[in-house]
């Protein structure tokens, strides 16, 4: 059952930080809780052809399925190798980052799993975290920090064999290239709408959480690294999604106690294409990751700690 967090319009949880956000907000739409009872919600991905959403519950070692027609939540896969981030390829197949197995897999249409990446230059990957697809060439991009090696909660204790990195899997050859290995805790990643820019969140940067940008060439190479967002102050960036106008919708959270100024930042921070913060969607839980979906692509799904939330907005996702 959908549960609105506020009965008021406009929803006070949707904060305008700059007038440009007003055109993205729907006056008569509010934040809704679609499901709860997870231990750490992550990696939402929308399946429009089936009108359902998949998301990970990492510590419970399962991938859940939320049905858009009935609102029912069911188990899609368990065990799931402590799956984290998900995406879909050009053929509509599910791509998954798995912490426990330290690999990236593809779920074929008949349910079989194909391993796309688990080693690089003879060394095991750490714990693939988030994943996206370059639509123009079909290449798969994923981040590989070591978060799943810290204990039994999201994987199992292990020793990193590679630096934290970002990898690209070539669609035609299957070749794996390490494209970046100079970030501390690379996490969420996404392309600009025209795929000319790659954004990567550096979630363990000190003292601030950063979003970096690179020019992305037709051959998959990156250049011109530059700082796009410095989320100074309390809070941490995690995953992100990009809309058709190039705005970045970023999962945001803090470790502040309930009722504190820091805890009030839990939710989603929205940045315009220049990196300026323009809006914030306040949630009662820190948000790890998000995606656009729904019948018209204008529904923002937010995986936040124990729950799945949604909000209709006046834009659509760059990837549909």
Residues marked active site are found at 238
Backbone angles phi, psi at 259, to 5 degrees: 90, -10
- Give me the sign of the Cα torsion angle 264, 183, 94, 105: negative
42 is in an annotated binding site: yes
Helices (H), the chain: none
* CB-CB neighbours of 178 under 10 Å: 14
Burial of residue 172 (CB within 10 Å: 0-12, 13-18, 19+) is: exposed
238 is in an annotated binding site: yes
DSSP-assigned states of every residue in 13-26: TEEESSGGGGGTS-
161 is in an annotated binding site: no
Q: Is 83 helix (H, G, I), strand (E, B) or coil?
A: strand
My answer on whether omega of the bond before 307 falls inside 30° of 0, hence cis, is no
Total residues found in the chain within this entry? 320
Residues 6+ away with beta carbon under 8 Å from 254: 234, 235, 236, 262, 263, 265, 266, 286
* Known binding positions: 42, 129, 154, 187, 238
């Amino acid at each position: 059952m959908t549960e609105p967090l506020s009965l008021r319009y406009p929803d006070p949880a949707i904060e305008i930080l700059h007038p440009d956000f007003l055109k993205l907000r729907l006056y008569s739409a509010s934040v809704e809780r679609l499901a709860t009872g997870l231990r750490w919600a992550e990696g939402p991905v929308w399946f429009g052809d089936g009108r359902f959403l998949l998301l990970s519950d990492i510590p419970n070692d399962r991938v859940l399925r939320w049905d858009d027609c009935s609102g029912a939540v069911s188990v899609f896969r368990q065990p799931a190798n402590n799956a984290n981030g998900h995406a879909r390829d050009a053929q509509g197949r599910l791509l998954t980052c798995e912490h426990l197995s330290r690999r990236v897999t593809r779920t074929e249409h008949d349910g079989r799993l194909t391993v796309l990446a688990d080693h690089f230059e003879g060394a095991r990957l750490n714990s693939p975290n988030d994943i996206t697809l370059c639509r123009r060439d079909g290449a798969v991009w994923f981040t590989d920090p070591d978060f799943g090696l810290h204990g039994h909660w999201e994987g199992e204790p292990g020793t990193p064999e590679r630096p934290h990195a970002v990898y690209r899997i070539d669609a035609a050859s299957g070749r794996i290239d390490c494209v970046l290995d100079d970030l501390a805790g690379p996490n969420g990643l996404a392309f600009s709408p025209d795929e000319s820019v790659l954004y990567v969140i550096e979630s363990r940067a000190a003292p601030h959480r950063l979003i970096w940008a690179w020019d992305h060439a037709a051959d998959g190479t990156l250049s011109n690294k530059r700082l796009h967002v410095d989320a100074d102050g309390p809070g941490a960036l995690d995953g992100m999604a990009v809309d058709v106008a190039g705005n970045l919708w970023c999962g945001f959270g803090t470790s502040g106690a309930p009722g504190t100024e820091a805890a009030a930042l839990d939710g989603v921070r929205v940045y315009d294409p220049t990196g300026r913060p323009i809006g914030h969607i306040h949630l009662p839980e820190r948000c790890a990751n998000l995606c656009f979906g729904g019948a018209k692509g204008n529904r923002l799904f937010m995986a936040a700690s124990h729950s799945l939330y949604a909000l209709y907005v006046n834009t659509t996702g760059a990837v549909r």
